[in-house]
Amino acid sequence: MITEQSIIEYIATAWLDGDTEGLDEETRLAELGIVDSAGIFDLVHFLQSEFRITVPLHEVAPANFQSVSAITALVDRIRNEREGAR
């Protein structure tokens, strides 16, 4: 839940003037015009610095950034892969 809330707060701050009303885990970010393709790269930068992960280029795909839950799943998957590599 902390991951999702951090992502929601970042999106609200960056694109919605801080307003989180109506923004939840399943909000379709691209379909509603909240995050465009250039915004995905801003999100990648945020994820890498906030969660101390590296998002591989092949993971920078619209499907991984369609909603907060998809972004959270991406972060969790990268974290799990990193933990498995140790």
Q: Give the per-residue pLDDT at 86.
A: 62
Element (H, E) at 75: helix 68-84
- Indicate the CATH number for domain 2-84: 1.10.1200.10
| Encoded tokens for 14 | 């960056």
- Name the pTM for this structure: 0.91
Structure confidence at residue 55 (pLDDT): 97
The pLDDT of 39-62, averaged and rounded, is 96
**Structural domain boundaries in the chain:** 2-84
d(Cα 50, Cα 28) in Å, to the nearest integer?
22
Label residue 35 left, alpha or beta by phi (over 0 means left) and psi (-120 to 50 means alpha).
beta
Neighbours of 84 (CB within 10 A): 7
- Please write the tens of the pLDDT for every residue from 4-39: 999 999 999 999 999 999 999 999 998 889 999 899
Residues 6+ apart with CB under 8 A from 79: 51, 53
67 is written with which tokens?
């909603």
